[in-house]
Structure 1
Amino acid sequence: MNRTVTLRHLRCFAEVADSGSFTTAATRLFVTQSALTATIQQFEEAVGLKLFDRNTRRVVMTPEAVRFKAEADKILREFDAAISDLEAIAQSQKGHVRIAAAASAIYQFLVQAIVSFREQYPAVSFTLRDAGAQQVEQLVVDGELDFAIASRYKGFDELDYVPLLTDTFGVVCRPDSALAQGNGPLKWAELPAEGYVAFTQDTGIGTVLRTEGPAWPGFDNCQFEISSSTSLLAVLTEGGGFSIVPALAGKVAGFETLTFRELEAPVLKREVCLITRRLRSLSPTAQRLLRVLLETIHAQTLPAGVVAAPAAPASLA
């Protein structure tokens, strides 16, 4: 005997129970009366109980069916609600997106993109983290984030790195600093060996400078290390000195009180990437957000020294 009970059996049972008529239930379910009768018979055979008593005027539930009806309604209600939630997420009517990004990316375009996205999809919620490059990559690998926007740190095999933009490194300092005087780029050879404020090695900026920067003596003569642009702003504003940051980082909130001058001879650039976990599909909501993000990047006037990547990721085109 086939004891498989499906949602179709439950729906037919509930409709007959509610209407008290096979004819009415069949009309509501858009099936023939004979097909409905056969389905109820299959259900009764599967559970080994009679579910309805039939008389000339009305179909009445048996005592066993009356006790079961509330459970059947609950199962159908919860299933329909779950499917509705799934469809809503697919249409970005609701859902949650988890992101980590460099502070400069958050300030320059990510928050603007989220605000624009929420105008269309107000029920979507977000978790936004400003974390170091080392932590960001591990969070994506572990599935704790949907995606990240940061520079490459270790370059995990499990991750995909799609360039979003590049920016040029330069000096940031107070306007009254000797390095702030004059126009145009500075040369690395012009930088003093004293007063340099460095980024820690676990940051994307610190990694790029240590691995790709020129042989500048100041790297070995650092007296102060910080791990975030917020800390850097406080140190430079109150204590003076100078640091070396990408152009995008030199434009975050608060840095308008400081002076930024690009460095040359050599020119050093950083690549800001969309970081996702390889072989893991982004949710429809995250994909829609990324499309808005790309539109935001290409629609705005980026700071000097910052250039957007010419092409969108193929998966979002």
Structure 2
Amino acid sequence: MLSSISLRHMRAFAAIADHGSFTAAATVLGLSTSALTSTIRQFEDVTGAALFDRTTRQVTLTETGERFLPVARRLIGDFEEALGDLDALSKGIGGKIRIAAAPSVLTRILPGVIRGFIAAHPDARLRLDELNAKDVHEAVANNEADFGIAGEWQDLPDINFSPLFSDRFGVLCRPDHPFAQESEIAWSELADQPFVGLGPESGTRAMMAGQGIWAAGGGADDIGRNPDARHAVDISPSITRAAALGVGAAQKALRTADELDRAMDQIARVGKAKQRGAASKSAKASKMAGMSGMSVNAATDPAALLRPVVETSNTITLAAMVSEGIGITVLPELAARIATGAGDLAGSGKLAFVPLCQPTRHRQIGVITRQSKSLSPIARIFLAMVMEQAPKMDLPAAIEWG
């Protein structure tokens, strides 16, 4: 029976293949030649395949043996790695950590932490996967990652989201674009601009467009950060929280309120059609005067104003589209600066980042874990280092921690 084949047979097979001799392989394995010969004969009898061609002078692999050798080596390696992980985990000094994270986290936050972590824990190994927010959440939920660091996406069973930092949304444009001369830009000013954007699978797109927990009215936390953010229709925080948890009736109530908000905003935009040439000055004047009715309400869906001529899943590609003058885009500040490969966008002379207002919105990045599964000792050590060291980093963006 094939079930009688064990790692002992794999090791014997690989040793003979490596040394080309039963005698030499037996010495390495600490076995007698007769015992090794018996092991290989059993292996061949059970599988029904000859693994070696034997002559009085040499031992060579058969065609079947050559095809099976890489498989045997992989199985031996996986087994030894698993044993090493088990030993390291029991001692809390090593093991493999699988991390799924957003591109900006992988390129600007984790490298600095990893350098010190590897120096202190040389037996540890890390697997880093660059994914969008949706895939990060699903990787953790499916046990394909020990934990993730990305934007909030949607409620999944057994998933916990702990905020780490946030950065502000803004416009990324060429330095010769009129927006580049402004200190802030209202969302309403984007309506007639050629636009390139991220696809719906992006966590950044989800937050900007008001999907999932960031439903168009924002959660109670969003309203707390922006006291002026309200629906035209009075929506209580309890309805917002219920919608975030997937309650259908609450979600329908929010959609109805959003539709009314967008209709009112459209009316306001039509009324301003003749004044578009002075849109920038009008936006600043309305903000100073507190005329919130003339701007896009934080409760509406800002992305409803935008019609991308190009969509992509990659922020670097997005920055390239902007650089070529295809359109402007909207990104969180850290993502925008990393996508251009420059810490100081203005200094690079290539692209400009200008914060958005009316409403001011932030991307929230957090740690994603499973509630029902505790982290390994080494993963807890690494995550603790991230939480402790990340806020001290000199990042090329205005970051709010916690």
TM-score scaled to structure 2, two decimals? 0.53
Aligned to 1:251: 337
* Cross-structure match for 1:295: 388
1:274, 1:117 → 2: CA distance?
18
Residue aligning to 1:123: 123
Contact 1:90-1:283 within 8 A present in 2 as well: no
| 1:129 CA displacement | 1.0
**Contact 1:97 1:125 (C-alpha < 8 Å) held by counterparts:** yes
Q: Retained in 2: the 8 A contact 1:159–1:275?
A: yes
Provide the C-alpha distance between the structure 2 equivalents of 1:93 and 1:282, rounded to a whole number of angstroms.
14
Shift of 1:108: 2.0
The 1-side partners of 2:317 and 2:90 are apart by: 40
Aligned to 1:179: 179
Distance in 2 of aligned mates of 1:82 and 1:238: 49
Aligned pairs for 1:125-144 (under 5 A) are 125-144=125-144
The 1:279–1:176 alpha-carbon spacing in structure 2 relative to 1, beyond 3 Å, is: same
User: Does the Cα contact within 8 Å between 2:195 and 2:306 map onto a contact in 1?
Assistant: no
* Deviation by residue 1:38-66 (Cα, 9 ceiling, x = unmatched): xxxxxxxxxxxxxxxxxxxxxxxxxxxxx
Q: Is the 8 A contact 1:193 1:218 kept in 2?
A: no
Give the match for residue 95 of structure 1: 95
Corresponding residue number in structure 2 for 1:61:
none
Q: Measure, in 2, the Cα distance between the counterparts of 1:189 and 1:119.
A: 50
Matched, 1:233 2:232: no
Give 2:293's aligned residue: none
The separation in 1 between residues aligned to 2:306 and 2:191, in whole angstroms, is 12
Whether the 8 Å contact between 2:134 and 2:153 is mirrored in structure 1 is: yes
Amino acid in structure 2 at the alignment position of 1:133: A
Write out aligned runs for 1:184-195 (5 A): 184-195=183-194
Distance 1:142 1:299 in 2: 32
Aligned to 1:208: 207
Give yes or no for contact 2:209–2:303 (8 Å, CA) kept in 1.
no
Which residue is 2:307 aligned to?
A: 221
Partners of 2:147 and 2:114 in 1: CA distance: 14
Superposed CA deviations along residues 104-130 of structure 1, whole A, max 9, x for unmatched, are 111221121112211111222111111
Alpha-carbon shift at residue 220 of structure 1 (Å): 4.6
Inter-partner Cα distance in structure 1 for 2:390 and 2:382: 12
Tell me, in whole angstroms, the C-alpha distance in 2 between the residues paired with 1:82 and 1:239: 51
Amino acid at match of 1:103: P
Residues 198, 314 of structure 2: 8 Å contact kept: yes
State yes or no: 1:275 paired with 2:368: yes
Aligned 8 A contact 1:92 1:124 in 2: no
State the 1:100 CA deviation: 1.0
Q: Measure the CA separation in 2 of the matches of 1:216 and 1:162.
A: 25
- Cα gap change, 1:99/1:289 in structure 2, threshold over 3 Å: closer, same or farther? same
Q: Secondary structure at the match of 1:252?
A: helix
Number of the residue aligned with 1:266:
359
Aligned CA distance change for structure 1 residues 90 and 164 (closer, same or farther; 3 Å)? farther
- The 1:177–1:220 alpha-carbon spacing in structure 2 relative to 1, beyond 3 Å, is closer
Secondary structure of the 1:89 match is helix
Distance 2:190 2:339 in 1: 25
Compared CA separation, residues 159 and 217, structure 1 to 2 (3 A): closer
Q: Structure 2: where are the runs of 5+ without partners?
A: 1-34, 36-80, 211-215, 217-297, 343-349
Contact kept? 1:104, 1:251, Cα under 8 Å: no
Paired residues of 2:188 and 2:305 also in contact (CA < 8 A) = no
Matched-pair contact (CA < 8 Å) for 2:208–2:302: no
Alignment of 1:60-75 (within 5 A): none
Does 1:114 pair with 2:114? yes
TM-superposed deviation, 1:165: 0.7
Partner AA of 2:400 in structure 1? V
Distance 1:117 1:155, change over 3 A: same
Q: 1:299 corresponds to which letter in structure 2?
A: K
- Which deviates further from its counterpart, 171-180 or 154-163? 171-180
Matched with 2:245 is none
Runs of 4+ in 1 over 6 A off after TM superposition: 81-84
Which fold has the larger relative contact order, with Cα–Cα distance below 8 Å and residues 6 or more apart in sequence?
Answer: 2
Equivalent AA in structure 1 for residue 159 of structure 2: L
CA distance in 2, matches of 1:147, 1:210: 25
> Does the alignment pair 1:148 with 2:142?
no
Tell me the CA shift for residue 134 of structure 1. 1.6
Q: How many residues align?
A: 229
**Aligned 8 A contact 1:194 1:218 in 2:** no
Counterparts of 1:19-34 in structure 2, within 5 Å, are none
- Distance between the aligned counterparts of 1:217 and 1:148, measured in 2? 26
CA RMSD between the two structures:
2.4
